[in-house]
Amino acid sequence: METTHRIVVGDARSLDSIDDESVELVVTSPPYPMIEMWDDLFAELDPAIGSALDEGDGREAFDLMHDQLGRVWDEVERVLVDGGMACINVGDATRSVDDRFRVYQNHARVTADFESRGFDPLPDVLWRKPTNSAAKFMGSGMLAPNAYVTLEHEYVLVFRKGAESRSFEPGADRRYEAAYFWEERNRWFTDLWTDLTGELQTLPDEGERERSAAFPFELPYRLCCMYSVYGDTVLDPFWGTGTTSLAAMCAGRSSVGVELDEGLLDVFAERVASVRSMAADVGRRRLDRHREFVSERRASGESPAYDARHYDFPVTTKQERNLLLYDVESVERATTPAGRRYRLTHEPLSEG
């Protein structure tokens, strides 16, 4: 199996290098409106945003920032196949503008914007961000009524383009090989994720993640497994340090990333250097966790009913029997006029 991974240097508001209906899944985390670290970026996109902030009009700045993101969502609608999925990681913002403190509900605005473009919202996920802060309050501290709860979660908003799910040819091997384990299904398809610093994590150092606003590796990896199959292409229009592309590589999917900052391509090249060991590590941990699950079930007097065809363990459902994880065998890199391209070859992940 081969996958290709393109990184395009450019503006996500115009994805001219990506064909109509050529992407099956979008996984991205945009700049969050009304988070101060993104003020300058939004003001460069539209000077009226900077003026609104200077004049203390937080609501106007919020709306104008989302208008800029809306131009990206127009492109997402164009490049996604019918039935394709868009997973948007976004957090709300708390901020005082002109001495007026409030929450700016980015998740609600993004949901409304996708609905207006014909997407159907599906159940979303809350994931809890790790925090080292001992301060759990804002406002007046221990005095009612003017303290405020802290925001310690972000949203993964899930949308489907159109009313119909994607169709597949009957018995398509790529769909059954890309199955996930029954116990993974129970853990992943819940609306609250508290374990994103868990066993499959392959984060850069925390300082790098804070500077780039990157999400944890396991978030896009899970979403690739949940909402795409082998042979699909995953798009991240706010590419950053390339965490979505790394996750797609490890998951055996192709990818396209779009990034304004050309300097981040060299950061990604350093990360790709370890993708072979990353993919093997992630895959083997999934297999090991399933073996632990089987042992626990047997210890409780139960045993999964079906034999896996590619591995030496049983599985719980018929849909898992052909499940097959892939390793990264080789990586080739090429520089293109628009950015960079990687071609990976994948081999079935062995038992060892």
**HEC string for the chain:** CEEEEEEEECCCCCCCCCCCCCEEEEEECCCCCCCHHHHHHHHHHCHHHHHHHHCCCHHHHHHHHHHHHHHHHHHHHHHEEEEEEEEEEECCEEEEECCEEEEECHHHHHHHHHHHCCEEEEEEEEEECCCCCCCCCEECCCCCCCEECCCCEEEEEEEEECCCCCCCCCCCHHHHHCCCCHHHHHHHCCCEECCCCCCCCCCCCHHHHHHHCCCCCHHHHHHHHHHCCCCCEEEECCCCCCHHHHHHHHHCCEEEEEECCCCHHHHHHHHHCCHHHHHHHHHHHHHHHHHHHHHHHHHCCCCCCEECCCCCCEECCHHHCCCCCEEEEEEEEEEECCEEEEEEEEEECCCC
Query: Pick the residue with more confidence: 113 or 163?
Result: 113
pLDDT of residue 141: 67
> For all residues of the chain together, what is the average pLDDT?
90
| CA–CA distance, 50 with 39 (Å, rounded to integer) | 7
What is the mean predicted confidence (pLDDT) over 12-28? 96
pLDDT of residue 219: 96
What is the mean predicted confidence (pLDDT) over 124-148? 72
Per-residue model confidence as pLDDT tens digits over 325-339: 999 999 999 988 878
Q: Has residue 202 got a pLDDT over 50? A: no
Percent of the chain scoring above 90 in pLDDT: 76
pLDDT of residue 184: 97
Of 284, 287, 268, which is closest to residue 331 (Cα–Cα)? 268
β-strand 23-28 against 233-236: which pairing, if any?
A: parallel
What is the mean predicted confidence (pLDDT) over 252-259? 97
Query: Pick the residue with more confidence: 336 or 79?
Result: 79
pLDDT of residue 199: 38
pLDDT of residue 130: 66
CATH fold of 2-32+77-348: Rossmann fold (3.40.50)
What is the mean predicted confidence (pLDDT) over 177-187? 96
pLDDT band (50, 70, 90) for residue 303:
confident
| CA–CA distance, 269 with 343 (Å, rounded to integer) | 13
What is the mean predicted confidence (pLDDT) over 197-216? 50
Q: Has residue 99 got a pLDDT over 70? A: yes
pLDDT band (50, 70, 90) for residue 146:
confident
Percent of the chain scoring above 70 in pLDDT: 91
pLDDT of residue 203: 40
pLDDT of residue 211: 42
pTM of the model: 0.92
Q: Has residue 164 got a pLDDT over 70? A: yes
Sign of CA dihedral 139, 142, 145, 148: positive
**Domain coordinates of the chain in residue numbers?**
2-32+77-348
pLDDT of residue 117: 97
